[in-house]
């Protein structure tokens, strides 16, 4: 967009700090403004009405389209504007046709009028984790995904109320280590007491997920996920996150152990096993993330 319209002010909004950090190294931040924003939160007042055109490509589920249509209308505000979005194709899943109809209903509810539609215009590189999941099922799909481009206009006469909306069941910490993204679930009942950290396979003996579907009931049990599609339940989740941060910062084991101790010393007496506890998880994560050999 910045290339096509050189004088346009371009904003990229994303809830992933890791994604924005990657973009920051590859775009002219004097011309393209990177904004850390989770669309589930209310839109900052200084962002309301800032846009003439909004493009989004959300996770391919109806509730995300509901949310992104709302935020798009708010970004445009009380004036005419354009909203473009990529729509998942008919064969995405068994009920995709019904869900596509629900997406268009959502757009109409937000007072958006469809003015253009191009089938299979958006092409995608299949993420590494999805390729691995498909290969486990004997499927060599490569870059199979295509999306339909939809174009809507709004006259700005009915801007949705600017309120927070919950779509995701869980919130996550995230870090980019090399080319691998790591996400650790935020615990709503985070404990002050130290718990021995441990990575536990979701299924007996298996750490790599067999499907990328949001409908997989095992997803709710995941506490740590990587973009190579490995997943674990965790014990001592907060400690594991401290270890992940230490690996990202290329800290030594001794430094990571010191960080773990520092995060708990004010709240509890730590056991003598802390060093060995941290060392075990540190080694597992190094191996999982294919970083330098840990010693």
Name the DSSP class of 278. Answer: H
Residue percentage of the chain with pLDDT more than 70: 90
* 223 belongs to a structural domain: yes
Structure confidence by residue, pLDDT tens digits, 118-146:
999 999 888 776 777 777 777 777 787 89
Cβ neighbours of residue 60 closer than 8 Å, sequence gap 6 or more:
88, 92
Q: Supply φ then ψ for residue 73, to 5 degrees.
A: -65, -35
CA distance to 73, 105, 108, per residue, from 157 (Å): 10, 18, 13
Integer CA distances (angstroms), 291 to 10, 133, 244, 287, in order: 35, 22, 12, 7
Same domain, 135 and 199: no
Reported confidence tier of residue 294, pLDDT bands at 50, 70, 90? very low
Residues 80 and 133 occupy one common structural domain = yes
Query: Which of the listed residues 123, 154, 185 is the one where a domain comes to its end?
Result: 154
Domains of the chain: total: 2
How does residue 104 score in pLDDT terms, banded at 50, 70 and 90? very high
Q: Which residue has the tokens 């299949």?
A: 126
Residue 131 belongs to what H/E stretch?
helix 128-136
Q: Which residue segment(s) compose the domain that 107 sits in?
A: 38-154
pLDDT value, residue 29: 87
User: Which tokens in the block code for residue 234?
Assistant: 């965790």
pLDDT for position 217: 74
| C-alpha pair distances (Å), 107 with each of 4, 47, 81, 85, 89 | 26, 21, 14, 11, 17
Cβ 59 vs Cβ 92: under 8 Å:
no
State CA 54 to chain mean position distance. 19
Three-state secondary structure of 197-259? CEEEECECCECECCCCCCCCHHHHHCCEEECCCEEEEEECHHHHHHHHHHHHCCCCHHHHHHH
147-167 residue pLDDT tens: 999 999 999 999 999 999 999
From residue 46, alpha-carbon distances to 1, 43, 71, 221 in Å are: 22, 8, 13, 38
Residue 182, domain member (yes or no): yes
| CATH number of the domain residue 105 falls in | 3.40.50.150
Q: Are residues 137 and 179 in the same domain?
A: no
Q: Are residues 138 and 221 in the same domain?
A: no
């Amino acid at each position: 967009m910045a290339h096509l319209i050189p004088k346009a002010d371009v904003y990229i909004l994303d809830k992933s700090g890791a994604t924005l950090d990657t973009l920051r190294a590859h775009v002219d931040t004097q011309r393209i403004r990177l904004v850390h924003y989770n669309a589930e939160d209310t839109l900052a007042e200084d962002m309301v009405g800032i846009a003439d055109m909004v493009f989004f490509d959300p996770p391919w589920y109806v509730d995300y389209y509901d949310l992104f249509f709302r935020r798009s209308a708010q970004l445009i505000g009380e004036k005419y504007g354009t909203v473009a979005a990529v729509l998942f194709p008919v064969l995405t899943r068994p009920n995709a046709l019904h869900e596509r109809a629900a997406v268009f209903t959502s757009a109409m509810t937000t007072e958006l009028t469809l003015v253009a539609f191009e089938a299979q215009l958006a092409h995608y590189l299949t993420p590494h984790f999805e390729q691995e999941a498909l290969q486990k099922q004997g499927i060599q799909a490569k870059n199979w995904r295509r999306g339909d481009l939809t174009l809507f206009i709004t006259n700005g006469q009915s801007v949705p109320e600017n309120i927070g909306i919950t779509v995701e069941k869980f919130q996550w910490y995230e870090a980019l280590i090399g080319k691998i993204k790591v996400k650790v679930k935020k615990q709503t009942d985070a404990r002050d007491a130290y718990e021995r950290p441990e990575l536990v396979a979701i299924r007996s003996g298996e750490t790599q997920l067999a499907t990328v579907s949001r409908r997989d009931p095992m997803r709710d049990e995941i506490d740590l996920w990587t973009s190579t599609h490995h997943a674990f339940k965790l014990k001592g989740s907060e400690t594991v996150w401290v270890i992940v941060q230490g690996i990202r910062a290329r800290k030594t084991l001794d430094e990571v152990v010191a960080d773990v101790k520092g995060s708990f010393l004010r709240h509890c007496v730590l056991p003598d096993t802390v060093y060995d506890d941290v060392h075990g998880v540190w080694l597992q994560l190094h191996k999982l993330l294919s970083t330098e050999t840990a010693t």
